[in-house]
Structure 1
Amino acid sequence: MNVVLDAEAVNALIQERHPARLAVRRAMTAAERLGRDVVVPTVTLAELYRGAGRNRALDAMLARESAALLLRDTDRGLARLVGAILAEAHVGSEYLADAHAVAAAVEVGGGVVLTGDPDDLSRLAAPYRTVVIEELGSK
């Protein structure tokens, strides 16, 4: 099982004083000890690139964490899975990034998705028993 980070989990790595930073770090350490990947769907980055200062902070974090993070691009197979997740949950493309996080766990047979938005991700992940949605706590 891999660990998948959604936008809020990635944001916790960007912001030094984010209340969930330690929880994300602990999950990353556990994944490393177990030989598992920590996955960030690249569509998640699009949610976070929001201007020069923010872009620099995100790029700096990605450079610093490059050995620890696996960036998952959207290929045709993942796109089909994301579409299926959205269809199964009867939701629209406003859940596209969240569906990518769930899909990144589903495609490898399961995983833990760290999120600041457990309700939406739980809805998307409901059909997949091998996907666990873990709330980060207060933002």
Structure 2
Amino acid sequence: MSALVLDSEALSSLARNSVHERTVRAALAAAIDEAAEVAVPAAVLAELYRGGHHDQAVDSCLAREGGISIVPTDRSLARRIGHLLAAVHRGSQHHVDAAVVAVCAAAGGGVVLTADVKDISALAGTSLHVSVRSIARS
């Protein structure tokens, strides 16, 4: 695995100690063991930041977990996101999902950790070397 990319639900699971936290922590441990990059697109933070305790939970999580890089959206990534959306005929309401896939693809591939397997898989189907893993327990 080149990268592990967390979507909003995966990062939120860590920040808020949800039922899926154990699954996300196991994926983080595996990524660390493989020396894989662990990344979160900045757009994911925009979904989670809602003021007050929400911001504090996310910021505390990022400080506590260490090693999670926040990937800003530059022109190259924005273009990749737009092309992913166009390839699967999705509108801009799916841009954060596309950002998660685009960050993973830009890292050379890897795993996207999500609760939204259907939407992320549709976008990842256009990208080589990007697999999707559910945070839901099987």
Interval of TM-score (by shorter of Structure 1 and Structure 2): over 0.9
Aligned pair count reads: 136
Q: Deviations over 1:20-53 (max 9, x none)?
A: 1011111111111111111100110000001211
Task: State the match for 2:34 in structure 1.
Answer: 34
Structure 2 equivalent of residue 112 of structure 1: 111
C-alpha displacement at 1:6, in angstroms? Answer: 0.1
* Structure 2: gaps of 5 or more residues: none
Matches within 5 A, 1:14-25: 14-16=15-17, 18-25=18-25
Q: Provide the alpha-carbon RMSD of the alignment.
A: 1.0
Q: Which TM-score applies when normalising by structure 2?
A: 0.94
- Paired with 1:50 and 1:111, the residues of 2 have a C-alpha distance of 29
Match of 1:135 in 2: 134
| Partner SS, residue 114 of structure 1 | strand
1:19 Cα offset (Å)? 1.3
CA distance in 2, matches of 1:15, 1:98: 20
State the Cα deviation string for residues 77-105 of structure 1 (Å, max 9, x = none): 11110011001010111001000000011
Q: Percent identity?
A: 41
Aligned: 1:3 with 2:41:
no
> Tell me, which stretches of 5 or more residues in structure 1 are unaligned?
none
Q: Which amino acid letter does the alignment assign opposite residue 45 of structure 2?
A: L
Who is 1:51 aligned against?
Answer: 51
Which residue of structure 2 aligns with residue 70 of structure 1?
69
The amino acid of 1:51's aligned partner reads G
Q: Residue 88 in 1 paired to residue 104 in 2?
A: no
CA distance in 2, matches of 1:19, 1:32: 22
Runs of 4+ residues over 6 Å off in structure 1: none
Describe the superposition over 1:90-128 as per-residue Cα deviations: whole angstroms up to 9, x where unpaired: 011100100000001111221100001000001111122
**TM-score scaled by structure 1?**
0.94
Which amino acid letter does the alignment assign opposite residue 115 of structure 1? T
